Amino acid sequence: MDAAVRARTPFPPLRATIALSLATIAALAGVIMAPATPAMAVGTVDVSNTETTGAALNTVPGHLVQQSFVAGRTGRLTSVRILVTRATAPLTVSVHGAGGQLAQPVTVPPLADDWVDTWVEIPLPEAPLVEAGLPYRLEIASTGFTSFPLNDRYAAGALNWPDWMDLLFETLVESAPAAPSDVHASVIHGTDGGVLEVTWSDPVGIGRGDVIQLRATQTGSLTTVPAGVGSTQIDHPGMVAGQTVSVDVRAVTALGQTSPWTTVSTIWSTSADAPSGLTASPAGDRRVALVWTAPPWDGASAITGYVAQVRAVGTQDWVDAPLTDVDGTTGALTGLEPLVPQEVRVAAVNQHGAGAWSAEAAVVPQTVAGAPTWASATALDGAVALALDAPTVTGGGTTLGYVVEHRATGSETWSVPSELAVVGDDVVVSDLENGVSYDFRASLTTSVGAGAWSEVVAIAPRTTAGAPTALAAQPGPGSIALSWSAPTSDGGAPITAYRVRYGVDGTWVEDGMGVTVSGTSAVITGLPDGVAVEVEVAAINAAGLGSPATAIATPFSPASAPTDMTATPFDGGVDVTWRAPADDGGAAIAGYVVEHRAGDGPWSTDGVLVGADGATIDGLANGTPVEVRVAATNGAIGAWASIVATPFVLDPSIVGPSGIPLGGTTLRMGDEITVTAERLPAGAVVELLLQPASESETDGSLMAAVASPSALGAAAIDAGGLSIGRAEVDADGTLSLAGALPSDLAPGSYVLVVDLSDGDVRASVSSAPFAVEAAPAPPQPQEPSIPAPPPAQAPAPTAPAPTAVAGAAHDALPQTGAEPLALLVMLGVALAAAGGLVRRRAAR
- Do residue 378 and residue 450 come from a single domain? yes
d(CA 287, CA 368): 11
Q: Please indicate, yes or no, if residue 782 is contained in any of the structural domains.
A: no
Q: Please indicate, yes or no, if residue 98 is contained in any of the structural domains.
A: yes
The average pLDDT across 96-116 equals 74
- Percentage of the chain exceeding pLDDT 90: 43
Res. 86 pLDDT band, cuts 50 70 90:
low
Lowest mean pLDDT among 73-87, 263-277, 509-523: 73-87
d(CA 745, CA 723): 12
Average predicted confidence (pLDDT) for the chain? 76
CATH number for the domain harbouring residue 126: 2.60.120
The average pLDDT across 550-556 equals 90
Any idea what DSSP says for residue 526?
S
pLDDT of residue 783: 57
pLDDT of residue 692: 92
Lowest mean pLDDT among 316-330, 533-547, 789-803: 789-803
Q: How many CA atoms lie within 13 A of 439 on its CB side?
A: 14
- Do residue 594 and residue 667 come from a single domain? no
Greater confidence, 592 or 95? 592
Lowest mean pLDDT among 324-333, 719-728, 771-780, 806-815: 806-815
Closest CA to 692 of 809, 800, 835: 835
Q: Please indicate, yes or no, if residue 703 is contained in any of the structural domains.
A: yes
pLDDT of residue 560: 92
Closest CA to 477 of 526, 513, 428: 526
Name the phi and psi angles at 252, rounded to 5. -130, 125
Say yes or no to pLDDT of 325 above 50: yes
| Sequence-ordered list of residues with C-beta below 8 angstroms from that of 791, at least 6 positions apart, any chain | none
pLDDT of residue 108: 76
Q: Which of 148, 171, 194 is the last residue of a domain?
A: 171
Greater confidence, 340 or 239? 340
Residues of the domain holding 189: 181-267
Q: Please indicate, yes or no, if residue 815 is contained in any of the structural domains.
A: no
Res. 40 pLDDT band, cuts 50 70 90:
very low
d(CA 492, CA 490): 5
Say yes or no to pLDDT of 824 above 80: no
Res. 271 pLDDT band, cuts 50 70 90:
confident
Name the phi and psi angles at 842, rounded to 5. -65, -40
pLDDT of residue 549: 94
Number of H helices, E strands in the chain: 3, 60
pLDDT of residue 492: 87
d(CA 747, CA 666): 10
Any idea what DSSP says for residue 157?
T
Q: Into how many domains does the chain fold?
A: 7
- Do residue 152 and residue 23 come from a single domain? yes
The average pLDDT across 796-822 equals 37
Greater confidence, 580 or 83? 580
pLDDT of residue 804: 32
d(CA 265, CA 841): 143
d(CA 414, CA 440): 9
CATH number for the domain harbouring residue 516: 2.60.40.10
Any idea what DSSP says for residue 346?
E
In angstroms, what is the C-alpha Rg of the chain?
A: 71
How many CB atoms within 10 Å of residue 223?
17
Per-residue pLDDT tens digits for 278-295: 999 999 999 999 999 999
Per-residue pLDDT tens digits for 136-176: 777 777 655 433 333 323 222 233 333 333 333 333 334 56
d(CA 813, CA 819): 9
- Do residue 160 and residue 31 come from a single domain? yes
Say yes or no to pLDDT of 99 above 60: yes
Residue 821, SS3 per DSSP: helix
- Do residue 22 and residue 119 come from a single domain? yes
The average pLDDT across 799-825 equals 37
Closest CA to 93 of 62, 67, 54, 119: 67
Res. 22 pLDDT band, cuts 50 70 90:
very low
Q: Please indicate, yes or no, if residue 519 is contained in any of the structural domains.
A: yes
Question: Which helix (H) or strand (E) element contains residue 624?
Answer: none
For every residue of 462-523, which 3-state class applies, written as one string? CCCCCCCEEEEEEEECCEEEEEEECCCCCCCCCCCEEEEEEEECCEEECCCCCEEEECCEEE
- Do residue 110 and residue 30 come from a single domain? yes
Lowest mean pLDDT among 51-55, 637-641, 652-656, 748-752: 51-55
Q: Which of 614, 645, 676 is the last residue of a domain?
A: 645
pLDDT of residue 786: 55
Per-residue pLDDT tens digits for 400-423: 999 999 999 999 999 999 999 999
Report H helices in 718-817. 807-812
d(CA 35, CA 175): 19
d(CA 109, CA 144): 12
Closest CA to 469 of 493, 510, 498, 433: 498
Classify burial at 510, counting beta carbons within 10 Å of its beta carbon; exposed 0-12, middle 13-18, buried 19 or more. Answer: exposed
pLDDT of residue 163: 35
- Do residue 244 and residue 293 come from a single domain? no
pLDDT of residue 135: 83
* Per-range mean pLDDT, top range of 6-15, 151-160, 277-286, 583-592: 277-286
- Do residue 22 and residue 161 come from a single domain? yes
The bridge status of strand 222-226 relative to strand 211-216 is antiparallel
Helix, strand, coil tally for the chain in percent (to 5): 5, 45, 50
Q: Please indicate, yes or no, if residue 835 is contained in any of the structural domains.
A: no
d(CA 531, CA 504): 8
- Do residue 252 and residue 287 come from a single domain? no
- Percentage of the chain exceeding pLDDT 70: 72
pTM of the model: 0.38
Q: Please indicate, yes or no, if residue 658 is contained in any of the structural domains.
A: yes
The bridge status of strand 666-668 relative to strand 770-773 is parallel
- Do residue 161 and residue 23 come from a single domain? yes
Q: Which of 114, 147, 171 is the last residue of a domain?
A: 171
Res. 129 pLDDT band, cuts 50 70 90:
confident
- Do residue 135 and residue 187 come from a single domain? no
Per-residue pLDDT tens digits for 599-630: 888 998 777 676 778 999 999 999 899 999 99
pLDDT of residue 111: 60
CATH number for the domain harbouring residue 760: 2.60.40
Say yes or no to pLDDT of 356 above 80: yes
Q: Please indicate, yes or no, if residue 760 is contained in any of the structural domains.
A: yes
- Do residue 43 and residue 161 come from a single domain? yes
